[in-house]
């Protein structure tokens, strides 16, 4: 079945460092891919999405490119801020289960001043 | 526009007790979902409702029941709570269509502890 694998955390970075969180997927067809962010004590918010191969999703300085050849959707940001500290989830939208999302296990990011 | 709301925010139960988690959305979405979030496990789908009047099992349905009361509301019931059901529960909703970019909107979660 469909699945998502993302890098284990926690990831600790200094402010203004470069961020990469790796995400690879297994799916039939061409699923839509998403990154969600969860700030402490809150629900999940959509960070960015890509719906087809070579699409680049971007938001708030974060970017991810849908790479069909490597089945990847890595999240990147050039200069992280303390306010980016959160848990990041990679997800794919399955055509099964009423278009529910299959999530990776999440990567916790802590940015220190 | 409140989005997706969930009640309660916190709950402590004893083993064997029952309770219902409430979820409502005001975005006129067709589909609604219940997920549970456990440390190191990401979010896993419990049940979903693709449209009013329909419900289906997700990845981890055992020990739960759901009711799609109307288009707005989707409740999750634990008939006899077990410690393994200690988790954070999230409700989500989205527009249903073949369009691939339909975003799911999440509620703030219910933190449930079963002793």
Percent of chain B surpassing pLDDT 90: 80
Residues of A with CB below 8 A from B43's CB? Answer: 44, 89, 101, 103
> Which 8-state DSSP code applies to residue A99?
G
Percent of chain A surpassing pLDDT 90: 74
CA dist B61 and B48 (Å) reads 10
Return the H-helix or E-strand segment holding A49: strand A44-50
Kindly report the nearest CA distance between residue B29 and chain A, in angstroms: 13
Selected residue with higher pLDDT from A8 and B19: B19
CA dist A109 and B47 (Å) reads 29
Pairing of strands A23-26, A86-93: unpaired
Kindly report the nearest CA distance between residue A105 and chain B, in angstroms: 4
Residue B64 has pLDDT above 80, yes or no: yes
Selected residue with higher pLDDT from B97 and A30: A30
User: Any chain A CB within 8 A of the CB of B94?
Assistant: yes
Residue of B nearest to A35 (CA): B103
| 8 Å CB contact between B19 and B89 | no
Nearest of B96, B48, B102 to residue B74 by alpha carbon: B48
Kindly report the nearest CA distance between residue A84 and chain B, in angstroms: 19
Residue B62 has pLDDT above 70, yes or no: yes
User: Any chain B CB within 8 A of the CB of A68?
Assistant: no
Q: For the segment A24-59, what is each residue's pLDDT rounded down to a tens digit?
A: 999 887 888 999 999 988 889 999 999 888 999 999
Predicted pLDDT at B10: 95
Residue of A nearest to B101 (CA): A51
C-alpha dist (Å) from residue B52 to A6, B46, B49, B73: 34, 17, 7, 9
Kindly report the nearest CA distance between residue A91 and chain B, in angstroms: 10
CA dist A1 and A8 (Å) reads 21
Residues of B with CB below 8 A from A49's CB? Answer: 101, 103
Work out the burial of residue B103: count CB atoms within 10 Å of its CB; fewer than 13 is exposed, 13-18 middle, 19 or more buried. middle
| 8 Å CB contact between A48 and A63 | yes
Residues of B with CB below 8 A from A103's CB? Answer: 35, 42-44
Residue B111 has pLDDT above 60, yes or no: yes
Output the six-digit token pair for A77. 């940001």
Interchain proximity B31–A99, CB inside 8 Å: yes
Mean pLDDT of chain B: 92
Predicted pLDDT at B100: 52
């Amino acid at each position: 079945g469909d699945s998502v694998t993302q890098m284990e955390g926690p990831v600790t970075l200094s402010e203004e460092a470069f961020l990469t969180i790796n995400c690879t997927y297994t799916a039939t067809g061409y699923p839509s891919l998403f990154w969600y962010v969860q700030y402490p004590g809150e629900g999940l918010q959509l960070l960015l999405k890509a719906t087809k191969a070579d699409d680049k999703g971007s938001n708030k300085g974060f970017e991810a490119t849908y790479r069909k050849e490597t089945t990847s959707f890595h999240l990147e940001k050039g200069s992280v801020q303390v306010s980016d500290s959160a848990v990041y989830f990679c997800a794919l939208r399955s055509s099964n289960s009423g278009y529910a999302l299959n999530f990776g296990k999440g990567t916790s990011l802590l940015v220190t001043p | 526009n409140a989005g997706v709301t969930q009640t309660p925010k916190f709950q402590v139960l004893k083993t064997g007790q029952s309770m219902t988690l409430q979820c409502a959305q005001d975005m006129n979405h067709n589909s609604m979902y219940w997920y549970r979030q456990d440390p190191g496990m990401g979010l896993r789908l419990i049940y979903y409702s693709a449209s009013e009047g329909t419900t289906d099992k997700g990845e981890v349905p055992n020990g739960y029941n759901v009711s799609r009361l109307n288009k707005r509301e989707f409740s999750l019931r634990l008939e006899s709570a077990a410690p393994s059901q200690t988790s954070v529960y999230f409700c989500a909703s989205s527009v249903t269509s073949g369009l691939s970019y339909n975003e799911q909107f999440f509620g703030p979660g219910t933190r449930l502890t079963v002793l």
